[in-house]
Amino acid sequence: MSDRAELLVRAAARVGPEAGFLRVRCAEVLAGLAPASSALEVLAERGEPARVVDALEALGALDDLGLLGTPAAEPACAYLARVQADDGSWRREDGDDEDSRIVATAMIAGHLGKTRCARPGCLAGAAAFLASRWSPDRVQGFVWRSVAAWAHFFANVPHHLADEGLQWCGRELERGYRAGRFDAVSCGRALVWCDGAALPGARLDAAELRAAILERFDREPDAGAARDACEEYHVLVALARMP
């Protein structure tokens, strides 16, 4: 077993059942302990999502495994096309404020942009909603979820604001990291969603983040010593999928 393979197996062992059955299966796949079909079976058994959060979870899992381009994404895509609001947005939960709708829409659109089954009109509606609300202010103030969501959208959906938006996201991601407001795992997560080794405008890259994640990983030898099971899953995804 190579050093990298051994590392991923160790990281997967830290992803406990509290992370959820689907993430446990994805962890096994990412570590090479199970075939991708084992995670796809979990999604197939669930069928078409009944809520936006369920669709987002399904697309997120497929994205983590690099399988958004497969037919497994079709149920979530079909559901999201049906429940998309007239203004092009999605709500994770009833009562979401505008900031939450913006983040949810940017994340969903970023995932859909990597599928082969998203309807063009669906993506166009989401892009129009986001374009009307874009401002550099949206990614300032050290709000990681906003930086990551906007970067995810701009990196995966063709848009006339993409170059400008990615520059702002890159600068703010690095600024948050250098200021100690964003940790290496969160920044690595953003790079995985964007499928890049770095973002425009940033001098922060996957190599630097991987070194920081590994240093922390080795400093915390016991599973769950400093992170919960979901955080451990994000560590594994960052190590397995960062370019």
User: pLDDT over 70 for what percent of the chain?
Assistant: 96
Nearest to 194 by CA among 98, 133, 111: 111
Task: Report, as an integer, the average pLDDT of 134-138.
Answer: 98
Q: Residue 190 belongs to what domain range? A: 3-241
pLDDT on residue 222: 56
The count of domains in the chain is: 1
Mean pLDDT of 208-213: 97
> Does the pLDDT of residue 2 top 90, yes or no?
no
CATH of residue 108's domain is 1.50.10
Q: So what's the pLDDT on residue 227?
A: 61
At a CB cut-off of 8 Å and minimum separation 6, what does 190 contact?
Answer: 144, 147, 148, 151, 152, 173, 199
| Close Cβ partners of 243 (under 8 Å, ≥ 6 residues apart) | 191, 195, 196, 197, 206
What pLDDT digit, counting tens, does each position of 10-29 carry? 999 999 899 999 999 999 99
Helices (H), the chain: 3-13, 21-30, 36-46, 52-64, 74-83, 98-112, 120-131, 144-156, 162-178, 184-194, 206-219, 229-241
Give SS3 for 1. Answer: coil
Tens of pLDDT, residues 61-102: 999 999 999 999 999 999 999 999 999 999 998 888 999 999
Joined tokens for residue 182: 């964003």
Residue listed under structure tokens 């993506």: 123
Q: State which amino acid sits at residue 59.
A: L
Mean pLDDT of the chain: 94
User: How does residue 217 score in pLDDT terms, banded at 50, 70 and 90?
Assistant: confident
Is pLDDT above 90 for 169? Answer: yes
The reported pLDDT for the residue numbered 132 is 97
Instruction: Give CA separation, 188 vs 74, 96, 166, 184, 197, in Å.
Output: 27, 27, 16, 6, 9
154-175 average pLDDT score: 97
- Using CA atoms, how far apart are residues 196 and 148, in angstroms rounded to an integer? 13
Nearest to 87 by CA among 124, 46, 36: 124
Q: Would the pLDDT of 226 be above 60?
A: no
Tokens encoding 59:
């697309």
Cα of 21 vs its chain's centroid, Å: 18
Band (pLDDT 50/70/90 cuts) for residue 221 is: low
Q: Where are the alpha helices (DSSP H) in 113-143?
A: 120-131
At 241, the amino acid letter reads: R
pLDDT digits (tens, 9 = 90+) for 51-60: 999 999 999 9
Tokens representing 192? 């995985």
